[in-house]
Chain A
Amino acid sequence: GAVVSQHPSRVICKSGTSVKIECRSLDFQATTMFWYRQFPKQSLMLMATSNEGSKATYEQGVEKDKFLINHASLTLSTLTVTSAHPEDSSFYICSARFGEETQYFGPGTRLLVL
């Protein structure tokens, strides 16, 4: 299947700083990418849908000013966690939609905010 990469795979930052996570579709163009958050032993929670060339659509309860999403090209979406706090520590996963039915997932980024 197609490959989706995420960078970095893990990041540790100080409280109050901002962290950018990149999601790239390596061998196909993705007009739509999704960002998820996964807490330990829990399911994936959809945070937002990232559409190339337009504003992201955020799920209810997700702060758009806190989690900035930019989908500037057909192969790259970025998630920036602004003014990170310890409660933002989590596993962040992106996926890229391929066609109508299929998603390919990135390996995830583990964020730890101290």
Chain B
Amino acid sequence: AQSVTQLDSHVSVSEGTPVLLRCNYSSSYSPSLFWYVQHPNKGLQLLLKYTSAATLVKGINGFEAEFKKSETSFHLTKPSAHMSDAAEYFCVVRRHASGGSYIPTFGRGTSLIVHP
């Protein structure tokens, strides 16, 4: 079965310092992995996705993530945090469903807090 584990429920950083949000996955085959961001009272927005192409994936707003098969990880990073980055971040893996389709499985989420 495919699943993701977000290791931290909260991450707190100062503005201008690096961000690291951790995600480990479990999959019996090469997975497709995604990071989404959810701002308060707004819909989820796709930050980036990995689908078996380049292992270092660049996303929007300066975020990137690296797929490391040996570590079964897909951590999200950003060199310098902005106040506007404060939000909930979800790591997502696709899993097979009946009929050959795929459905998404969400991690529990990591709340990013950015201090001035």
Contacts and interface: CB of A to CB of B under 8 A. Distances in A.
Contact of A4 (B43, B103, B106): B43
Q: Is chain B's binding surface mostly helix, strand, loop or mixed?
A: strand
B65 to A, nearest CB: 15
Interface stretch (B11-19, B21-29, B76-84, B94-102): B94-102
Interface in A74-114: 93, 95, 100-108
A19 interface: no
A94 to B, nearest CB: 10
B103 A49 contact: yes
Given A57-B97, A93-B44, A108-B43, A103 B104 contact: yes
Interface residues of B, number: 24
Nearest to B90: A43
A60 interface: no
A34 B102 CA distance: 11
Interface string B59-96: 00000000000000000000000000000001000100
A43 B108 contact: yes
B104 A34 contact: yes
Interface in A36-56: 41-46, 49
B3 to A, nearest CB: 12
Interface of A: 1, 4, 32, 34, 41-46, 49, 57, 93, 95, 100-108
The 10 A-B pairs at the shortest CB distance, nearest first, are namely A107-B43, A105-B44, A105-B43, A43-B108, A43-B106, A44-B106, A43-B109, A101-B51, A106-B43, A49-B103
